Every structure is written in C-alpha cells, then in structure tokens.
Amino acid sequence: MVFFHALQINETVCEGCSHCMRVCPTEAIRVRDGKAHINENRCIDCGECFIACPHKAVFVKQDDFEEIFKFPCRVALVPAVFLGQFKDDISVSRIYAILKEIGFQHVIETEISTPLYTERKNRMERESNNKPLISSFCPAIVRLIQVKFPGLVDNIMPIKAPLDITAMFIRQKLEKEGWRPEDIGVFYVTPCAAKIAAVKSPVGEKRSSVDGVINMDSLYNRVYKKIKEQGHDYKEVKLPIAQLTSDSILTSLTNGERRLSIAEHSLSIDGIDNVIEFLEKVENDEVEGVDFLELRACDQSCPGGILTYNNRFLTCERMFNRARYVAGKERRGELTRAKEVAEEHDYLMENIMVEDVEPRSMSLDPDFNKALEKMNKIKILEKLLPQIDCGICGAPSCNALAEDIVCNGCKLTDCIFIQRNMESRKSMKVEKSLQIMEKTWGREKIENYIKSKFLKNKK
C-alpha cells in the first residue's frame, strides 16, 4: 500500500543539494541522478524538507482553486490561524467579506467544534487506562507515531480533529437546509502539508467530510490582493454562526488543548525533534505518571505551519489578543453561544470517533527471519562504512546506506571512502568513481564541475 503525501519535489528546480535529506526525521529522502526523491511510505508530511530547501524546490500539491466552482454550495473552512496572518487593523469581518466575494457562500471557522472535541477527549481521559493518551490533533504526529513509534499507536486518541467535526457539522446543517450532499463542497484552508494528507488519505476513516484543500499561502495572496484593491472602500460581514470562544481561538496554539485537559499531569510539546526525543522516552516506559500529551510537529504549533505567511510569533500574538478580547466579552456575558453546533451535539458525538490507528511498519522485511538476515548484513556493512554520515552517497547516514545496500540495490562502492580506498589499491579507476558520483549527483552537475574548475586550473 502506498500512502498519500502532499510534499513533492519540483525536479526542474531541485539542485540535488541534499539539505532536505539531512533534516528529514524519518530518513525518507535520497538523492539520485542529481534530484531529491521522497519515499512515500516514510514521508509524514511534517514539512522539515520544505523549510530546509534553499531553492524552493519542495512544494505542496494543492487542489486547483477553480475546483470550488464545481459545487453549487461552497464552504470555506477557515482555521483561526488564517485570521492571524493579517495585521490587527484588518478585521475578521472584513476578511470574511472578501472570502465571500471570491466565491464562497459560507465561511465557517474550523475551531467552532472545539467544545465538542474537548468534551469527548476529556471523557476518554477519565475512562481510559492507556496512559499517556496522545492527542490526534496534529496529523503529522499521528503519522510520525505510525511510522516511527508503532508501539504507541494505541495511545493515540481515535477522535476526529475539530476540522473534521466542523466539516460534518456544516454538511449536516446545509443538508437540513435542503442541499443535496453531492452539491456541497467543503474546502479547508490548510496551514500545513500534513492536514492535506489527513484529508486525502484519512487515518482510521474511510472518507473525509472535506472535499478539497486550499493552501493558506495561496489564499492569503488572493485575499491580500483584494485588501490592496479595496483601499478604504470595503464592507464587513458578520458570521451567521456565532463567534469562537476564547478557548476555541487558542486550540491550535501550543498548550491550546492542554489548558482544557482534565488530566492531572499533561505536557505540550511542539517541534518534531522535541516530540521524537520525548516519544523515545515514552516508548521505553521511562516516563511515569503522565496522563495526556499534546504533541505538535511545528514550532509554535499551527502558526508555524509551512503554508503560513506571517511570522509564527506574530501570528500567536494576534491570536492571543483576539482570544483576550473575546474573553472580556465572555466575562461580561456578551458573547452569543454557538447554538447551531450545540443543536447537532448528539449527531456529531455519534460520529466523532475514528477507527483505531494502525502502525505503518518501517521494518526491513515482513518476515522475521528474512529481516534478521538483512539486519546481520547491515551490521557487517556498518563496520565497513566510515560512520561520519557525510551524505555523499546520496543517503542521509552510513546506517541508511547500509540499509539501502541490503534492501534497495545500492552498492558499498557508493561510499566515497570505499572508492578512495579502492582507487589507492588500484582496484577502481577514477573514471568508475566519477560514474558513481554521476549516478548520485547527476551527470550534468559533475560534467559542469569538471569543465568549469578542473580545466581552468589546467590552463
């Protein structure tokens, strides 16, 4: 089975510089023929490669915006992070008005269903003995656990994220208003690649309630262009569905779930490397007495998503201010409760769970004895390799090359140390080692290099 992933390499731009290969937390990237290649079964769409790429060769596949017009009834599902992309003087209502102008009849904020999500999670925290429970909010984390920590999949709370609950809610509402299910198109504005994969190949769910995904950066461009065109001449639109609570506004920030958790001992950790470091400990049973973990792949959680425009700290600040403003209204009893969502409470609660999350094994072979045989070979190869993880073979580490030799047809001679050694013992010609370099880094790059530097020196 091949898994969908949203991160792609644009081969015409890729220089094969290997920056992405070195930062990938699941060692999913190799350089071959001068281009980076992503192994789809290992990629968790965390976006580290996207951030590392100096040539903007990593891109996030998205649906064509015109797709929305295939549906007579169009819904934009907008996370609070989107509104955090704009400066304070651009009001929420103004942004909604623009979203309606560019083609959506309905705009709804993703976090409107947070109270239900929290209610279900807290119930699970009370009832489950499987500690620590891990939030399913961040899809990159769910995939990270499937791929790298298969022993912890049972700790993931199989609850739909607010994005999916809100999509279910709006569908239900519009169907009740008389729309046919096939005429409703729900489009989610995503701050990251992982949410796209979550919609296109949901975990523990047969089909997502979301029909398409719009990348936040491209929508930002569209909206910002309108803002510039409008100048001071614009209108504002109040949302028909009540505003978010202050708690809901903060859900997608670090600590957003933890602060609503009933667990006595809980942690929130952001940044993929921080999460991996901690999950290693959890998997070893070295962490005692923690009931709940809120884990997010990006630094500062969703404001740090790779498809956001604004600086993540500034986004957090704007979202905090919005939450503080709303909290004031809450204290004064001025906020209209989200009655519409509460009315569908029972229907949504019935459909809020997903099936249990299955591990996605990174094992060497499904058969134990074959895997053991391969492992023995890898251990021997590792002793022959220099263990400096230089990456010149096109793999991120000596260990990864050893694995690639045993499993993917790579050769020991792909290693520059082995090549040099053989050359010195006259068992390999320089031409042969150049050929090997070409296979990894691309013929063009090697030829250009020889022409430009080598020949000049000769003169």
Partner 1 sequence: MHLEYTVIEGDFVNAGSASSSIKKTLKQLNVNPSVVKRVVVALYEAEVNAIAHAYGGVVTADIDAGKILVRVIDKGPGIPDIDWAMQEGNSTASPEVRNMGFGAGMGLPNIKKNVDRLNVQSTVGVGTTVEMEVNLG
CA dihedral of residues 438, 439, 440, 442 (deg, nearest 10): 50
* Cβ closest to partner 1, residue 382 vs residue 423: 382
Q: Please report how close the Cβ of residue 297 comes to partner 1 at its closest, in angstroms.
A: 21
Tell me the closest approach of the beta carbon of residue 364 to partner 1, in angstroms: 5
CA 388: distance to chain centroid? Answer: 30
Q: How far is the CB of 77 from partner 1 (least distance, A)?
A: 35
Please report, for residues 44, 46, 47, 397, the alpha-carbon distance to residue 16 in angstroms, rounded to integers and kept in the order given: 21, 20, 17, 16
Cα(171)–Cα(165) distance, integer angstroms:
10
Q: Which is nearer to partner 1, 147 or 167 (CB)?
A: 147
Task: Please identify, using beta-carbon distances, which residue of 151 and 386 lies nearer to partner 1.
Answer: 151
CB of 359 to partner 1, least distance (A): 7
Instruction: Give exposure, 416-429, as e/b (b: 16+ Cβ within 10 Å).
Output: bbbbeebeeeeebe
β-strand partners of 74:
185
Q: What is the three-class DSSP state of 456?
A: helix
Q: CB of residue 281 vs partner 1: minimum separation in angstroms?
A: 8
Q: Which two tokens stand for residue 129?
A: 């003995």
CA-CA distance, 34 to 37, in Å (whole number)?
10
Q: How far is the CB of 384 from partner 1 (least distance, A)?
A: 17
Contact 49, 58 (CB under 8 A): yes
Task: State whether the Cα torsion 210-185-77-7 is positive or negative.
Answer: positive
| Closer CB to partner 1, 183 or 373, in the complex | 373
Smallest gap, in angstroms, from Cβ of residue 404 to partner 1? 14
What six digits make up the tokens of 427?
A: 């068992």
Report the distance separating Cα 321 and Cα 301, nearest Å: 17
Q: Toward partner 1, which CB reaches closer, 154 or 183?
A: 154
From the list 158, 162, 74, the residue with the least C-alpha distance to 112 is 162
Min CB(366)–partner 1 separation in Å = 6
Burial class (CB in 10 A: 0-12, 13-18, 19+), 59: middle
Nearer to partner 1, 91 or 363 (CB): 363
Cα 58 from Cα 143, distance rounded (Å): 20
Instruction: Report the residue number, 102 or 287, with the smaller CB distance to partner 1.
Output: 287
* Residues counted in the chain: 459
Q: Which of 368, 449 has the CB closer to partner 1?
A: 368
- Tokens 């999670």 -> residue: 121
Residue 377 CA to residue 256 CA, distance in Å, equals 47
Which C-beta is closer to partner 1: that of 319 or that of 385? 385
Q: Where are the beta strands (DSSP E) in 150-231?
A: 184-190, 212-215
How far is Cα 329 from Cα 443, in angstroms, rounded to an integer? 65
Q: Which residues bind partner 1 (CB under 8 A)?
A: 150-153, 280-281, 283-286, 359, 361-369, 371-372, 375-376, 379
Complex with partner 1: residue 54 or 366, whichever CB lies closer: 366
Cα–Cα dist 335/246, whole Å: 10
Query: Least Å distance between CB 286 and partner 1?
Result: 6
Cβ 151 to partner 1 shortest distance, Å: 4
